[in-house]
Structure 1
Amino acid sequence: MDRIEIEVGAKINIGLSVGEREANGYHSLRSIFYAVDLLDRIELQIAGGNSIEIEGFTECPAKDSTIFKAARLFLEKHRISTGLRIRVRKQIPSQAGLGGGSADAAAILAGLNHLFGIAPETTSLICLGAEIGSDVPFFLSDSPAFITGRGERVEPIHAREPFSALIVKPPFGVSTREAFAGLVLHRAIKAKFAGYSPTSASWGLADARSAEEALSLPIGQWAFYNDFSDYLFETFPIYKNLEKALKDSGAAYVSISGSGSCIYGIFVGPDQALDALRDFSAKTISGMALYAIKPLERTLCLG
């Protein structure tokens, strides 16, 4: 075998608690990650020479991408000398809070592991993924999962009954670095005001068991919160309009995903998001990208 195709889904965060920055420079996180069927498709092929060629990826210089970093790290780790040709068909937008870069890196690691017939030691692969990005281990695991640490500690939890969701991508991106810096500044400024108490994102996220129990409740009863919401809603007023529009369309729960920029609404019915998509499209919201999605049981599919 010298060629393989991989499909990998995006993720949404259901609740996201961001702790203070620790000595290692990272913030401690707690969240539920859910894989969804907004897919990137990657084709890996062994080639002559020892260069790594990437086609179809335009979001940044190829050598700065998580795709290139994952391929190079894998080959170095296993002392494999070969060339690779990688073709990418992206649907997951960047700077969106959907984990697109991490998903692609995980797809490369899993694909190469299979392509070169290396024993599937999941723990080893996850450790390799954590060197590339905090979210990569999730995309090498089952979905949904309770996430802690800086994002690299993954505990699979039971999925709830099927739902559908509408993801709305505003006409701008939010880099992870920018979002964390903004959140820290936002908290520092707000802390100067007497009586200020930030909204707590701890509901349902104490541990994996409580996350599983909270997730199983009727969606309309969820009190999951994303700590980036206060900062993003104040910085970008459009979020208030999008939140209202999603709720008016029937969403039982609305939240920012990750550190933004996407906001999503979850609908109880498995096809309700499609109706909401048509409603949004009819309103011709300028510059928005809309994705009606459903959850996945597996983050990756090797073809």
Structure 2
Amino acid sequence: MRTIDWVDGAVELVDQTLLPDKCVMLRVSTVAELVAAIRRLAVRGAPALGVAGALGAVVADGDPALVAELFAARPTAVNLAWGVDQAVAHLDEGPEAALAAALRVRDDDIAACVAMGERGAALLEGDRLRIMTVCNTGGLAAVERGTALGVVQTLHERGRLAEVLALETRPLLQGARLTTWELARMGAPHRLIADSAGPYLLARGEVDAVLIGADRIAANGDTANKIGSYALALGAERAGVPFIVVAPESTIDEHTPTGDQIEIEDRGADEIVSVRGVRVAPEGTRALNPAFDVTPHDLISAIVTDQRVIRP
């Protein structure tokens, strides 16, 4: 199953807001529909957003206003704008050339995820590895297989995976809803934990490596990822556990010198005061909701891309 694809002249994507209860494919034929899907996280994950951006630029057909809407849909994830640029660069050659460029982004992502899985698995030593991860970095965050969870899948296929400890990932529960769904589909052993349990379990020696994805990697190696990643990095550093970021080369933003320059999206109070539409805080409660945090490069053991292993 592909998370996002071009089918008969339109974008088709899995509506991730309905998982794990239902797996529904959305058919998107306008930029407005695609931007809405991106903003409500029907499609999410840095690589998938890159493909969405490229295909969205084809749908926009060079309209500057529509292209600008795509750029602004999610400010933290660099892959979205990068994907838009890949297709826009060929619009002068005609719509078929732009579509061909967008489909190359899709195909390159599939190949990149395979490469990251192999490179990440080779980097980790030992068998029966216990992996901790946050958010969702599997095929749902890409086109197929994924980034950090793609490494997990490769380990599992090679008989080297003992267990995955998946953080629930508040406030939208991508770990609970999406990562466990993908792990169950691949038959990988796993348990779900509360976000705040991660550092404690690291300190207790129950994890061999932390694998996370990235939405933007600054030129100095600072990394923006789902909120909660920084706490895991601090816990891993104290416990002496490798903390490894897995992301394609397109996530590296040489134009952003350090993590201090990464714009962090705040998604508003509703996601904090409610859980899947059920209010859990009193009416009128104010909230702060940064969707991402930044892990300084000195806490990162290695960055695994589809082309290399970087040790910040």
TM-score relative to the length of structure 2: 0.27
Q: Which has the higher strand share?
A: 1
Q: Which has the higher helix share?
A: 2
The answer to which structure, 1 or 2, has the higher relative contact order (CA under 8 A, 6+ apart) is 1
